[in-house]
Amino acid sequence: MEDASISAGDAVRRDLGARPLWSRLHLPWVAGALFLLLLPWATRNAYHHYILNLILINVILAVGLNIVKGFAGQVTVGHYAMAAIGAYASAVFAAKFGVPFWLALPAATLFTGLVGAIVGIPAFRLEGAYLALATLGLAESVRIAIGVTDYLGAAVGFSDIPPPVFFGRPVVDHIAYYYIVMPLALAGIYFSFCILRSDIGRSFKALREDSLAAAACGINVRKYKLLAFLISALYAGCAGSLQAHMAPGFLHPNSYTITEMVTLLLMVVMGGLGHIWGGVIGAAIVTVIYDLTRDYYQYQMAIFGMVIVLTVMFMPRGIGGLIDDYLAKRRFVAIRRAKANAA
Amino acid sequence: MLLEVTGLSKRFGGLVAVSKLDLSIREGEIRGIIGPNGSGKSTLFNLISGVYQAEPGGRIVFAGEDITGYPSHEIARRGIARTFQLLRIFTQMSVLENLLIGYHPHVRYGSAAATLGSASVWTEERRLKDEMMELLGFIGLTDYAEIPAGELSIGQRRLLALGRAMAMRPKLLMLDEPAAGLSPVNVDKLLSTVLALKQRYGLTVVIIEHILKVVMESCDTVTVLEHGEKIAEGAPAAIKDDHRVIEAYLGKEMGDAEVRAFLKAS
Ligand SMILES: Nc1ncnc2c1ncn2[C@@H]1O[C@H](COP(=O)(O)OP(=O)(O)OP(=O)(O)O)[C@@H](O)[C@H]1O
Ligand SMILES: [Mg+2]
């Protein structure tokens, strides 16, 4: 006799594969959005609201880094410098040219995307540690250049960056700012799912695994490397702009050092390279840990670096791997139960 | 001629791997390429598929277009698919995904649409998944669609490598030792799959093979290489009587009893 429960499950699965992503993820997304809409009201503590915004900005950064590093396998250490470029570009647009936040954000995002594509060019010839060194060099030059440029506030910092203005009212309150950051973070996650599950995501994975074989399959390896750098820089640019305009509207080159980059790497590695939800969870956990250990700033890089190494050694698929294993096990148990019931 | 190669050479330092080679492949034929180990067979494939750049003076013309010096992906897009001697399938991706990668040149939506998750992307994805499932059925791996390619057996991997090349919908299919390491039963299975695919899609096939049975039974013409040079070319029956071919094989470790027996007796 036909096993009804299992074939029904298969039918659902087949059906799911056919429907567009927005409809496929309908329910979880709606429930999640509702939760996120109400989330800041769970606490009255303004500092918690600030941390919440920080988490969401880091989610955007981590999801973006995951695209270039997790999907496409390009070892870049320059992602944080991209955020710096986005932040300072947005600050210049808004503070020096009076461009409103709503225009400065997309402009800074696009500008950073462009710079990111250029930074991706060394990836044509370099791989692994060499690419990491090249991008590290570029990133450090960006930070140092900012630190000596008076126009950008040099080592004093860039202050008085205007906040977003919403219907004539400046958004300085962290709860209000949350409602700008949160939708952008959600959009970032959504786009990265779309990318991963399309031909672009497949091409990224192919060039990560074997770029020679990918080229033999007709994949323009350079184009896709560039695309990965460009997309991830768009994320970083957007996150940077959000950093710039968040109260108190102040930027300093010291918030874009190699320590911050290591922190960002930890988010993605802990979450599981190439795993989108893992990266989101990693961003949340690491942001909180980073903030709690602020007093020990000088040790952070060493400790975070060590945690990265340990994670790679003992939990190479990260939190995302644990989630996947759990889901696979649950599905296995469900199928076995369905079979037992049918018998 | 579908493929016209003239004066093709490749040097690695002092070693001449391929030397002033001429090769013409007629549309619709099955060409066998044989030769002892290190005679330059794989290097020839790597030159044609753009993995290596030929020395100046060599020319590769495919379907009337001079593709000399083109990058790999451009050559693939023009209809030349190849498999690798070491397979190079994507072991971390599912079997179905491997085929979808092969189908990449024919995906019809753009990067922007894919990023925004437009509905047209998902209808197209469904269409190409259906198409790849059909191909998967053809190579007999339907049940393994969702399984990581790294978990397949060696025989299944060879079939997948063949499938990935076929997913590119090529005009010319170049197979580098597709049957190596397979049991006789699996060799026959692979061979019949290749022949069926050729019939079905109207392919031209170039096949490098050490297993002489494969070459002798299924090829229209056989080209023999030694030290990067062509030492003989012709119908299988004529080739196996050619004294230079016999010498080339007998001189090497390839000239074991089995080959000797096959070349002389059959
Ligand atoms: N990338 C490379 N660098 C240096 N030498 C190479 C390279 N690729 C091939 N060779 C050399 O070129 C010669 C031809 O190699 P090739 O792989 O084309 O031989 P083949 O006919 O495919 O042999 P086999 O039957 O063992 O696969 C060999 O001597 C090999 O060592
Ligand atoms: Mg070879």
| pLDDT category of residue A335 using cuts at 50, 70 and 90 | confident
Decide if A215 touches B, using CB distance below 8 A: yes
What pLDDT shows up at residue B257?
A: 56
- Could you read off the pLDDT of A203-217 as tens digits, one per residue? 999 999 999 999 999
Contact B171, B204 (CB under 8 A): yes
Decide if A168 touches B, using CB distance below 8 A: no
Sort out which chain A residues have CB atoms less than 8 A from B111's CB and list them: 200, 227
Query: Given the CA of residue B225, which atom of ligand 1 is nearest to it?
Result: 21
The count of structural domains within chain B is 1
Can you tell me the ipTM of this complex?
A: 0.90
| pLDDT category of residue A8 using cuts at 50, 70 and 90 | very low
- Could you read off the pLDDT of A76-107 as tens digits, one per residue? 999 999 999 999 999 999 999 999 999 999 99
What pLDDT shows up at residue B255?
A: 46
Of A198, A205, A219, the CB nearest to B93: A205
What pLDDT shows up at residue B260?
A: 57
| pLDDT category of residue A19 using cuts at 50, 70 and 90 | low
**Which has more confidence, A296 or A115?**
A115
What pLDDT shows up at residue A324?
A: 87
Q: Is B38 in the pocket of ligand 1 (CB under 6 A)?
A: yes
Which residue lies with its CA nearest to atom 18 of ligand 1?
A: B40
Q: Quote the Cα angle for B254-B257-B263, to 5°.
A: 80
Domain range for B131: 3-265
Q: How far off is chain A from B98, nearest CA to CA, in Å?
A: 9
CATH at B69? 3.40.50.300
- Could you read off the pLDDT of A222-277 as tens digits, one per residue? 999 999 999 999 999 999 999 999 989 999 999 999 989 999 999 999 999 999 99
- Could you read off the pLDDT of A176-233 as tens digits, one per residue? 999 999 999 999 999 999 999 999 999 999 999 999 999 999 999 999 999 999 999 9
Q: How far off is chain B from A209, nearest CA to CA, in Å?
A: 7
* Residue B246 CA to its chain's centroid (Å): 25
CB contact under 8 A, B104 and A190: no
Q: What is the mean pLDDT of residues A280-303?
A: 90
| pLDDT category of residue A171 using cuts at 50, 70 and 90 | confident
Domain ranges within chain A, ordered by starting residue: 43-255, 257-343
Q: How far off is chain B from A199, nearest CA to CA, in Å?
A: 7
Decide if A119 touches B, using CB distance below 8 A: no
**C-alpha separations of A79 from A139, A338, B96 in Å:** 8, 47, 32
Say if strands B229-234 and B221-226 run parallel, antiparallel, or are unpaired.
antiparallel
Decide if A21 touches B, using CB distance below 8 A: yes
Distance B215 CA to ligand 1 centre (A): 21
E-strand ranges in chain B read: 3-12, 15-25, 30-34, 59-62, 65-66, 80-82, 172-176, 204-208, 221-226, 229-234
Q: Which residues pair with B11 in a beta bridge?
A: B16
Q: What is the mean pLDDT of residues A11-34?
A: 64
What pLDDT shows up at residue B95?
A: 96
**Which has more confidence, A5 or A129?**
A129
What pLDDT shows up at residue B259?
A: 59
Q: Residue B174, SS3?
A: strand
DSSP A139-194: HHHHHHHHHH-GGGTGGG-B--PPPPEETTEE--SHHHHHHHHHHHHHHHHHHHHH
**Which has more confidence, B102 or A32?**
B102
- Could you read off the pLDDT of A40-57 as tens digits, one per residue? 998 888 899 999 999 999
Q: Is B223 in the pocket of ligand 1 (CB under 6 A)?
A: no
Of A20, A205, A212, the CB nearest to B122: A20
CB contact under 8 A, B122 and A218: no
What pLDDT shows up at residue B3?
A: 97
Tokens for A206, please give them.
């192919």
d(CA A53, CA A36): 12
- DSSP type of residue B93: S
Chunked into runs of 10 residues, chain B (266 residues) has average pLDDT values of 95 94 95 92 96 95 96 96 96 96 93 88 92 92 93 92 95 93 86 88 91 85 93 88 74 53 56
| pLDDT category of residue A6 using cuts at 50, 70 and 90 | very low
What pLDDT shows up at residue A7?
A: 44
Entry pTM: 0.89
Q: How far off is chain B from A4, nearest CA to CA, in Å?
A: 19
- Find residues 222-261 of chain A whose CB sits inside 8 Å of chain B: 227, 231
What pLDDT shows up at residue A169?
A: 87
